[in-house]
Amino acid sequence: MSEQQSAQAPQAGAREALRVFWAFFTVGALAFGGPAATQGLVYNKAVTQLKWISERDFLDLMGVVNLLPGPNAVEMAMHIGRSRAGKLGFIAGGLAFMLPGSVIAAILAAAYMRYGDTPSAEAVLYGVKPVVIAVTAWSAWRLARSVGFTVPRIAVMALALIGYLFGVNETLVLLGLGAVAAVARLLRDRRTPPKGSAVALAGFLPGMPDRMAGFAIGRTGVGLDQLALVFFKAGALMFGGGTVLLAVLRAEVVVEQGWLTEGELLEAITIGQITPGPILTTATFVGYLLAGSAGAVVATVASLIPSFALMTLSRPLIALLRRSPTTKAFLDGVTAAAVGVVAAVTIELAGDAIVDWVTAVEAVIAMAVMLWRPKWALAIVLAGALIGGGAALIW
């Protein structure tokens, strides 16, 4: 029996699902720095350390999830988990990635309710952020090398980097450059654009937010059903990261329902930024404030349902995009653009993370370690946390 077949058998699948859970639990616990940085951590764990997925498959997957709403790294954990342990692995990968940040967000929400403030994570972040920069920069380099340094691909990466740094929406960057790559392939082959998958995909994805926006939310108290609908909508509309989530939640829980004040929502978004994992941990915090522990669970699960639903289609979607030269060119363009976005986010994060000589030295040493021993990523992140805690005690 092959390894893949063995992983799908009931007992072997359960054991493999536990491995998937632990692998993505540890990644989720260290996932500071936003979606692009987190994708770098997933790459290091799944491709470099565990070799659960090839670089080519990882790049294809990254291209697809960057076009979908929801937390990209969680969606990648779902797909990789399914490839290792079937349905159990699919569920284990997604939930494990969210669990550390959600638990921490719930604890901070309880502290906020009791004391009116949240414990500061600034000391830990001071030490962790430079290490995350090093891991992300290393991952961006490895991904770029995997994509290939041909002139067209370098041009796509550069355009994506420049566009993102100048404030162009991430989804527009990916779709636009993917479409440019597809058109370039058509012109090179001198063919008429097909009426099939590429055109259908290009017409479907930009309109997805409008099609998902029609949920009616009640106006009478904060019930769990209302909470579920609000956060299902937030998860379904989360194109482009935390700023989109902030806009959706502000419209629903502040303006429409009046459940939170502006200040409370900003506090919740801050919790999403300082806790590990995707910014959807904000859902856990808000859910707890509005309906206690049950609200935290409902809001977290509801915000993840769109991602679970969409990722059930990831395999056929990747196969569809790889079916013809035009759609393959589209996905290749999206993938190269995603690498450019990762590089741009690394540059942006570096400005926030490297603030003095200590963090600069830490980032250089971490980068050297990643180039020498990439499997030591977990160790150097933990070392960064210790450095941050020690610096807080000294200074």
Q: Residue range 130-145: average pLDDT?
A: 79
Residue with tokens 């921490």: 104
Average of per-residue pLDDT values in the chain: 76
28-42, 68-82, 251-265: lowest mean pLDDT where?
28-42
Please indicate, yes or no, if residue 274 is contained in any of the structural domains.
no
**Residue 10 clears pLDDT 60, i.e. is over it:** no
Range 267-279 average pLDDT: 68
The pLDDT of residue 208? 37
pLDDT of residue 200: 40
Range of the domain at 70: 11-207+312-394
Q: Decide: 323 and 60 in contact? Cβ < 8 Å.
A: no
For residue 173, being part of any structural domain is answered with yes
pLDDT tens for 12-29 read: 578 899 999 999 998 888
First CA to last CA distance, the chain? 59
Non-local (6+) Cβ contacts of 348 within 8 A are 165
Specify the number of domains making up the chain: 1
In a domain, 256, yes or no: no
Asked if residue 250 belongs to a domain, the reply is: no
Please check whether residue 180 lies inside any domain of the structure: yes
* pLDDT exceeds cutoff 80 at 376: no
Three-state DSSP string of the chain: CCHHHHHHCHHHHHHHHHHHHHHHHHHHHCCCCHHHHHHHHHHHHHHHHCCCCCHHHHHHHHHHHCCCCCCHHHHHHHHHHHHHHHHHHHHHHHHHHHHHHHHHHHHHHHHHHHHCCCCCCHHHHHHHHHHHHHHHHHHHHHHHHHHCCCHHHHHHHHHHHHHHHCCCCHHHHHHHHHHHHHHHHHHHHCCCCCCCHHHHHHHHCCCHHHHCCCCCCCCCCCCHHHHHHHHHHHHHCCCCCHHHHHHHHHHHHHHHCCCCCHHHHHHHHHHHHHCCCCCCHHHHHHHHHHHHHHHHHHHHHHHHHHHHHHHCCHHHHHHHHCCCHHHHHHHHHHHHHHHHHHHHHHHHHHHHHCCCHHHHHHHHHHHHHHHHCHHHHHHHHHHHHHHHHHHHHHC
Please report whether residue 2 resides in a domain.
no
Condensed to tens digits (0 to 9), the pLDDT of residues 175-226 reads 888 888 888 888 776 644 444 444 443 443 444 344 333 333 333 357 888 8
Residue 253 lies in a domain: no
Six token digits for residue 97: 């990635």
User: Distances in Å between the alpha carbon of 291 and those of 252, 283, 288, 295?
Assistant: 16, 12, 5, 4
Two tokens, residue 43: 């790459």
Q: In terms of pLDDT, which residue wins out, 267 or 1? A: 267
Assigned domain for 3 exists: no
Single pTM value for the model: 0.61
pLDDT of residue 218: 32
pLDDT of residue 136: 74
Q: Looking at per-residue confidence, does 96 or 222 come out higher?
A: 96
The mean-pLDDT minimum among 105-109, 211-215, 227-231 falls in: 211-215
> In degrees, to the nearest 5, what angle opens at C-alpha 143 toward C-alphas 163 and 351?
50
